[in-house]
Structures are given as structure tokens and as C-alpha cells.
A and B are shown apart, each in its own frame.
Chain A
Amino acid sequence: MDKNMKILVVDDFSTMRRIVKNLLRELGFTNLDEADDGLTAWPKLKAGHYDFLVTDWNMPGMTGIDLLKEVRANPATAKMPVLLVTAESKREQIIEAAQAGVNGYIIKPFTAATLKEKIDKIFARSAG
């Protein structure tokens, strides 16, 4: 796994963005950027060469699931791995995310170990 990959962290709560970025830094990732909802994230994703998207679901403006659908619909970003980190725990929502093409789904509150495990799994799969 390339530790220099460019990662975008999207969450409307700045504390959660800091936490996720902190944990990612702990895991050795240094090329981190952030956005506070789908509307601000999408132009960044379109413009920059991001390798990985970590996003919340419930955000004002544009939700994480809509952002995921947008990412999958656009050829330039369609193959980007997307990890949802959200408080939403309804089965139908998890299924909706799976159908929209999410690569991993973590429910809040989560641990550093869970984050590491999901990221390892996502990139083990995409490498293999």
C-alpha cells in the first residue's frame, strides 16, 4: 500500500475530520486533505488526483451517499476506493451503500483498529 497516496476526508464535524486524519497519520498516511460536505468535496475530487475517499454519510448540502454515487458515475473517479464512516446503522442503508459501490463501511463510534483493518482490506483487494 502506498503511504503517500492522496486521501480526502469528508465530514461536517471538524472534530471528526481531525480524528480521522490523526488516525490516518498514525497509520503512516501523510498526504491528507479534507472537506466539510459533498458539495465542497466533489470539486476537489474532480480537480485533484485523489487515491482514496473517506466520507461521512449524514452531511448538509450533499450527503456521503450522493457523493459516492457521483464518484461512481464519473469515469475519472469511478474506480476510486471509498470508505464510509458513519453513525447510520440501518441495514437498508448499508445495503444502499453496497449497491452504490462502497468499498468499506464503518459505524461510529469506531476504533483505530477497525479503521486500520478496513483500509488494509480495501487495498489488499484492489492490489490483488
Chain B
Amino acid sequence: MQDERAKQELLEKAHQLIESIENGDDAGTDELLTSMTVYREKGLFEEVGHLTRQLHDSLSSFALDDQLSDLTDKEIPDAKERLNYVIEMTNEAANTTLNAIDEVLPVTAEMKKKSDELSAKWQKFMSRELSLAEFKKMSAEITEFLDMSCKNTAFVHKKANEIVLAQSFQDLTGQIITKVIALVQNVEESLVDLVRIAGSQESAGTEKKQEKGKLEGPAVPGVVVEGAVNSQDEVDDLLSSLGF
């Protein structure tokens, strides 16, 4: 309706404009042209104002979105701690493994050397080339070797187990990295939301995702998880307080 009336007014002004130009009324022509331009600009300004208000509102509601502030305040610094911990754990696992091997290799080399020596003597004994004195010496050496062999194999066994246990980093770092990937996805979605809001002036939903039953994963130094225990001892204490 308003559009129709505005159109009529404009048409009337156009007729007047033609009339005043034909009549050579310069002042009237000017006045009519100015009033027509103002009419046009007024609509444009109104529209720009409207868009500005919508964009402002959308951005404000986006900034207040809990999820976004949570991302910047907590999740991203946590992700840095988590990734640093991954470096630390992989470094520790590599060192544990290499240290164990460093300790094992000289032991096996020594065993190999002794075995070779005794083997040569044993061959001589079998082909009756060993004197009684040499035989007595070899017997003593064999006794010593067997004793050392028991100790060394137990040592190698222990080190092998240390190497096995050191591989648990793979599970734990895997869990941590999976969490960081989820965070990156979350950031990506938030950025897409931001672009969408800026583009279409739709207000963002401020619903916070349900977090019940969310699993925290491995404990990371520097990342505080409310209500988490710090050691196996605390787990044991808690369970025993529950009658375990």
C-alpha cells in the first residue's frame, strides 16, 4: 500500500518536473529533483541501517556463545598442552626403549664372546686335545658361564618387558590426538557458523551441546580436569572407601 502511494507521489512529481522544465521554471525544477533524490536516499539509508543492526545483533550473540568462548578460553590452550604431552610421551617411550636396548646389547655381546670361547675349548676336549689342567680350568669357566647365563637371560627378559610396557604410549597418545582432532573440527564448524552469520544475518543458535557421559581420556599434565584422581593410589583409596 505504502509502495503504491509512494509510486503515485513519484509519478505526480515526475509530471510536475516535466511541466516545470517545459515552462522554463528553473527553481521549481531544482526543488523537484532534490525532493525526488532525497526520497530515494532515504530508502537506501533505512535498508543499510537495518542490515547493520542485524549484523551487530548476530555478532553479539555469537560472541556470547558459550561454546566459542569455551573454545578460546580453555579448549585451545588445553589442546596445546595435550600435544606437548604427546611429544613428551613419545620421547619418553623412545628413550626407554633405546636405553633398554643399550643395556641389553653389551650383555648379549659378552655372552656371545664367552660362548664362542667355551665352544672352542669344548671342541678341543671332545677331540681329546685338552690336558687335565686345561680341563679343570674349562670346568670352572663353564660353571661361571652357566651362572652368568642365568643372570643375564633374566636381565634381558626384564628389559624386554620394559620395552613392551613402553609401547603403551601408542594407545594414550592416540586417544589424546583423537581429542585434538575433534577440537579442530569444532573450531572449523564455529568458523563456518561465523561466516554463515555474517553472510545471511541469521542469529546463531546458542544451544550448548550435551556433555553428559563425556569421557576425558588420558590425564595430561597442565590440563585440569575437575574431579579427576591423580594416581593409582587415589583410585585404590576411593574404591576402598566404597567398600572394595
On whether the beta carbons of B229 and A89 are closer than 8 Å, the reply is yes
B residues less than 8 Å from A98 (CB atoms)? 239, 242, 244
| Residue A88 CB within 8 A of the other chain | yes
CB B172 to nearest CB in A, in angstroms, measures: 6
Contacts known (A90-B216, A95-B238, A98-B239); A108 close to B228, Cβ less than 8 A: no
Of the candidates B164, B219, B238, B244, the one whose C-beta lies within 8 Å of that of A19 is B164
Cα distance A23–B168 when bound, in Å?
12
Cα distance A20–B238 when bound, in Å?
24
Q: Chain B: which residue is nearest A99 at the CB level? A: B242
Contacts known (A87-B219, A88-B216, A89-B219); A16 close to B228, Cβ less than 8 A: no
Cα distance A13–B175 when bound, in Å?
9
| Residue A109 CB within 8 A of the other chain | yes
On whether the beta carbons of A58 and B235 are closer than 8 Å, the reply is no
Of the candidates B164, B171, B216, B235, the one whose C-beta lies within 8 Å of that of A22 is B164
Task: Provide the A33-66 mask, 1 if CB < 8 A to any CB of B, else 0.
Answer: 0000000000000000000000001100001000
Interface size class of A (residues with CB under 8 A): 20 to 34
Cα distance A22–B163 when bound, in Å?
11
Q: Chain B: which residue is nearest A59 at the CB level? A: B215
On whether the beta carbons of A90 and B228 are closer than 8 Å, the reply is yes
Q: Chain A: which residue is nearest B215 at the CB level? A: A58
Cα distance A26–B163 when bound, in Å?
13
CB A20 to nearest CB in B, in angstroms, measures: 9
Task: Provide the A1-45 mask, 1 if CB < 8 A to any CB of B, else 0.
Answer: 000000000010101101100110010000000000000000000
A residues less than 8 Å from B171 (CB atoms)? 11, 13, 15-16, 87, 108
On whether the beta carbons of A15 and B170 are closer than 8 Å, the reply is yes
On whether the beta carbons of A16 and B168 are closer than 8 Å, the reply is yes
B residues less than 8 Å from A110 (CB atoms)? 168, 232
Of the candidates A58, A91, A109, the one whose C-beta lies within 8 Å of that of B217 is A58
On whether the beta carbons of B217 and A94 are closer than 8 Å, the reply is no
B residues less than 8 Å from A94 (CB atoms)? 229, 235, 238-239
| Residue B49 CB within 8 A of the other chain | no
| Residue B174 CB within 8 A of the other chain | yes
| Residue B35 CB within 8 A of the other chain | no
On whether the beta carbons of B168 and A109 are closer than 8 Å, the reply is yes
Task: Provide the B209-242 mask, 1 if CB < 8 A to any CB of A, else 0.
Answer: 0000001111100000111111110010011001
CB B159 to nearest CB in A, in angstroms, measures: 13
On whether the beta carbons of B164 and A23 are closer than 8 Å, the reply is yes
On whether the beta carbons of B168 and A91 are closer than 8 Å, the reply is no
Of the candidates B218, B225, B235, the one whose C-beta lies within 8 Å of that of A105 is B235
CB A43 to nearest CB in B, in angstroms, measures: 24
| Residue B161 CB within 8 A of the other chain | yes
Of the candidates A22, A89, A111, the one whose C-beta lies within 8 Å of that of B225 is A89
CB B118 to nearest CB in A, in angstroms, measures: 30
Residue ranges of B at the interface with A (Cβ–Cβ < 8 Å): 161, 164-165, 167-172, 174-175, 215-219, 225-232, 235, 238-239, 242, 244
